[in-house]
Structure 1
Amino acid sequence: MNAFPNVDMQEVTRLTRKGRLKEAMQLLRGEPKDQTLGRETAAGRTPAEPVRSNTAKAVSRSPSSQDLLSGVLGKTLPELAGLSGLAPSATPLPMPEGARFETRSHRGPAGSRDYKLYVPARHDGSPAPLVVMLHGCTQSPDDFAAGTRMNELAEEVGFLVAYPEQTQRANAQRCWNWFEARDQRREGGEPALIAGITRDVVAEHGVDPKRVFVAGLSAGGAAAAIMGQRYPDLFAAVGVHSGLACGAARDMGSAFAAMRGGGPVEAGDTVVPTIVFHGDRDTTVAPVNGDGVIEQARAGAAATAVTSQGVSPGGIAYSRTVHREPDGRERLESWRIHGAGHAWSGGSARGTFTLPAGPDASREMLRFFLAVVG
Structure 2
Amino acid sequence: MKRLNAGAWRTAPEGMRNAQMDPAALVRQTLARHGLGDGGGTGGDRAGGIIRDALARAGLGQGARGETAPDLPQGATFARGQHSGKSGTRAYRTYIPASASAGANGLVVMLHGCTQTPEDFALGTGMNAHAEAHRLIVIYPEQSRGANAQTCWNWFSKGDQARGRGEPEIIAGLTRQIAQHHGIAPRHTFVAGLSAGAAMAVILGHAYPDVFAAVGAHSGLPLGAAHDVPSAFAAMAGNGGVTRPPATFAPRTIVLHGANDSTVHPANGSAIAAMAEAGVKGPVLTSEERGTAGGRRYHRSLTWGAESQIHTEQWRIEGLGHAWSGGQPGGSYADPAGPDASAEMIRFFLEPDAKDDLT
TM category (shorter chain) comes to: 0.7 to 0.9
* Superposition map of 1:231-242 within 5 A: 231-242=208-219
Name the CA shift for 1:74/1:163 in 2 (closer, same or farther; >3 Å).
farther
Q: Given the alignment of the two structures, is residue 310 of structure 1 paired with residue 291 of structure 2, yes or no?
A: yes
Name the CA shift for 1:262/1:224 in 2 (closer, same or farther; >3 Å).
farther
Q: Given the alignment of the two structures, is residue 221 of structure 1 paired with residue 198 of structure 2, yes or no?
A: yes
Q: Given the alignment of the two structures, is residue 358 of structure 1 paired with residue 334 of structure 2, yes or no?
A: no
Q: Which runs of 5+ in 2 are unaligned?
A: 1-25
Q: Which moved more, 1:165-174 or 1:300-309?
A: 300-309
Q: Given the alignment of the two structures, is residue 161 of structure 1 paired with residue 138 of structure 2, yes or no?
A: yes
Q: Which moved more, 1:92-101 or 1:250-259?
A: 92-101
- The number of aligned residues is 313
How far did residue 88 of structure 1 move? 5.8
The structure 2 residue matched to 1:176, chosen from 130, 134, 153, is 153
CA contact (8 A) 1:74 1:138 kept: no
Question: Per-residue displacement from partner, 1:86-123 (whole Å, max 9, x unpaired)?
Answer: 32636433312211100011012111111000000121
Name the CA shift for 1:332/1:197 in 2 (closer, same or farther; >3 Å).
same
SS of residue matched to 2:99: coil
CA distance in 2 between counterparts of 1:237 and 1:126 reads 21
- In structure 2, the partner of 1:75 is 53
The structure 1 residue matched to 2:230, chosen from 233, 250, 253, is 253
Q: Which runs of 5+ in 1 are unaligned?
A: 18-70, 79-83
Post-superposition, which runs of at least 4 consecutive aligned residues in structure 1 deviate over 4 A?
A: 1-10, 71-74
Higher helix content, 1 or 2:
2
How far did residue 361 of structure 1 move? 0.5
CA contact (8 A) 2:106 2:188 kept: yes
CA contact (8 A) 1:130 1:212 kept: yes
How far did residue 182 of structure 1 move? 0.6
CA distance in 1 between counterparts of 2:98 and 2:341 reads 23
CA distance in 1 between counterparts of 2:82 and 2:31 reads 33
- In structure 2, the partner of 1:117 is 94
* Superposition map of 1:1-150 within 5 A: 1=26, 75=53, 85-87=62-64, 89=66, 91-150=68-127
Aligned CA RMSD, in angstroms, stands at: 2.9
How far did residue 128 of structure 1 move? 2.3
Aligned residues: percent identity? 47
CA contact (8 A) 1:180 1:250 kept: yes
CA distance in 2 between counterparts of 1:186 and 1:74 reads 35
Question: Per-residue displacement from partner, 1:145-188 (whole Å, max 9, x unpaired)?
Answer: 00000011111111100000001111111110111111101110
* Superposition map of 1:309-348 within 5 A: 309-312=290-293, 314-325=294-305, 328-348=308-328
CA distance in 1 between counterparts of 2:201 and 2:228 reads 18
SS of residue matched to 2:110: strand
- In the superposition, the TM-score normalised over structure 2's length comes to 0.80
SS of residue matched to 2:295: coil
CA contact (8 A) 1:281 1:338 kept: yes
* Superposition map of 1:282-297 within 5 A: 282-297=261-276
CA contact (8 A) 2:70 2:119 kept: no
Question: Per-residue displacement from partner, 1:116-145 (whole Å, max 9, x unpaired)?
Answer: 000001213535200000000110000000
CA contact (8 A) 2:105 2:134 kept: no
- In structure 2, the partner of 1:56 is none
Q: Given the alignment of the two structures, is residue 371 of structure 1 paired with residue 348 of structure 2, yes or no?
A: no
Name the CA shift for 1:239/1:74 in 2 (closer, same or farther; >3 Å).
farther
The structure 2 residue matched to 1:185, chosen from 162, 181, 187, is 162
- In the superposition, the TM-score normalised over structure 1's length comes to 0.77
